[in-house]
Chain A
């Protein structure tokens, strides 16, 4: 009996100690995908985020609070992603923030995160209207959305032509993945076509997009001034190869940022040379934060990328950037709710809504120029909307523009209209952002 009591007491003590220990670390669930069709992107991106978390832990944590994370393989499928979220959301004291890197999973979690009060970031994807934080308090398309990108693309093409007014009479093809992702920017392109007087020709590519002869034959016949490549996965190198096959200059193909990674151009070989794509982060290992990761994380044998040569690749740096945003949101929350304390998900949500990553702060973090400054608010969960353009020279992407904005006023108007429509459909009463602090 005494032994049983001792065992029970020991178990109670162990459980209590475990709980205390769990509460000293900030938990972030990672819904990664490292197998399946999108493994290359998933392993690079989530590898980058974990590398940054490891760097933060190696340098003392966030005011002493160490990060803790657990991965769950979503395989990029919505059902598995939702299952992973459900499995991890209450673990280790509860999830602080979730980033699924999948529009499908994000849609699956939209109502759940609001119910569970866990903030979700959709860094560079998802539905653009979520930028209106008064309607979507728990969703953060932080950085930039598809609509902002579409606006920046038109601004870039205008710049190439010598002014937006010069787009009048031009013909622009939108070669898009026939999915919700591909159709997302259509209202923006249509609005700009009406505003600037260019002809918009929409050509859909059926998933997965591994054959595109018929689309490029139509393009060849139409002789457009530019082709916007709104593609994903195998569709991208196939499009670039087809452009070469049908003699369309790659310099006139402008890709979405999901068509602008090393994985999109390398398979296309020489056919990708001269191709320009959008980007919301910069690649390369020259940034001090990337050098720190190389030295303190990979040097200590804790690097997450199996292939170390992928350090500094588009996906890796994008993952590191997500890591920085998540960590800075927690740090911001600590400033309000107590330095050195573990933040609740609601407190992290506040941090995400009050981010102010200025150029100076980015420099302090060793990420100056790696991504544009971000300043979020209750009304603006995007916080930036800036995009830069980069050209593939056959070996690496080189910037051809600084970070730039499209017609932000027009996009904001569209965001608010779309969010208001969503709120009416779902019977959501938008928050009064003037009362949020």
Chain B
């Protein structure tokens, strides 16, 4: 039974890491109704820029605001050169634009900082917390607990930002209808710029944590694949949904791999979350926390 709980807790904590990536998707989707295919590339860009600046001799503490500035610039440039010309275009057009953007950002990151694989040490040990191990024989990593704490802070800040601020409310209006939002005087470009910049900041946090765990390398773009089932489950426009979806996906994929995997040859955690999300789609297409779409006909 202890082993079951260890797998469960490990899965929940892994799920938090998925949620961090999913949050970036949710932000863009809330603002523009677009699934941002480039979110994984943004995570990679942020982490690579961070370590690249650090390698240039810039102190660690200064790299954070400097990378944040780079991400904000990237967000604003995306709004100006990619989204602005596509206002009122069908969502599929915007989605296709983000696919192109993803390749551009990946290439730009490697062009700027090279293709070398780098390590990233945040000073947080990815080792078991001793007293928990002693008391329960379960391994819970300090790194995972820290990541969970960071995710909690991020979610709280973003939830307050979207529900209690003027920009947050404007953003929700923009998400509902671009044209209507423009008609009532909401500055669409400004809102999109802000949201892409915030998504860039979230990408930086996700990039630093994932980079510290896996190394800063191109494979960081793959973390986006882990966020997709989270979004399907939690809903594309819900910040709490990203967290709850992450926890469910993380726990279920680990439990499935450990307890079902040996019967089917293993290696199932790559596709199991997608099957789970697909089954969930059949029951609740809008996700756990997504807005139920009601159309009058």
Contacts and interface: CB of A to CB of B under 8 A. Distances in A.
A263 B242 CA distance: 32
B226 interface: yes
Given A208-B219, A210-B223, A241 B213 contact: yes
B119 interface: yes
A210 B268 CA distance: 14
B266 interface: yes
Contact of B115 (A40, A233, A244, A246): A40
Contacts of A37: 217-219, 221-222
Contacts of A35: 106-107, 110, 115
Contact of B267 (A205, A237, A268, A271): A205
Interface residues of A, number: 43
B214 A210 contact: yes
Interface in A203-224: 203-208, 210-211, 213-215, 217-218, 220-221
Contacts of B221: 37
Interface in A19-69: 34-40, 43
B265 A267 contact: no
A244 B215 contact: no
Contacts of B267: 178, 204-206
Contacts of A207: 270
Given A40-B117, A217-B258, A206 B214 contact: no
Contacts of B127: 244-245, 247
Given A266-B117, A266-B118, A213 B254 contact: yes
Contact of A210 (B119, B128, B222): B222
A187 interface: no
B217 A307 contact: no
A234 B217 contact: yes
Contact of B3 (A43, A221, A245): A221
Contacts of A268: 119, 215
Interface in B180-222: 210, 213-219, 221-222
A288 interface: no
B161 interface: no
Contacts of B257: 214-215
B266 A178 contact: yes
B139 A307 contact: no
Between A40, A207, A220, A245, the greatest number of chain B beta carbons within 10 A of the residue's beta carbon is seen for A245
Contact of A238 (B114, B116, B213): B213
Given A34-B115, A217-B6, A246-B139, A267 B268 contact: no
Given A35-B115, A208-B222, A238-B214, A203 B128 contact: no
Interface string B265-286: 1111111000000000000000
A402 interface: no
B14 A267 contact: no
A425 interface: no
B261 interface: yes
A54 to B, nearest CB: 21
A35 B113 CA distance: 12
B8 to A, nearest CB: 10
A43 B115 contact: yes
Contacts of A247: 127-128, 139
A202 interface: yes
B217 A267 contact: yes
11 contacts: A36-B218, A37-B217, A37-B221, A202-B266, A208-B222, A210-B222, A210-B223, A214-B261, A217-B254, A241-B126, A247-B139
Interface of B: 3, 6-7, 10-11, 14, 17, 106-107, 110, 114-121, 126-128, 139, 141, 143, 210, 213-219, 221-223, 226, 253-254, 257-258, 261, 265-271
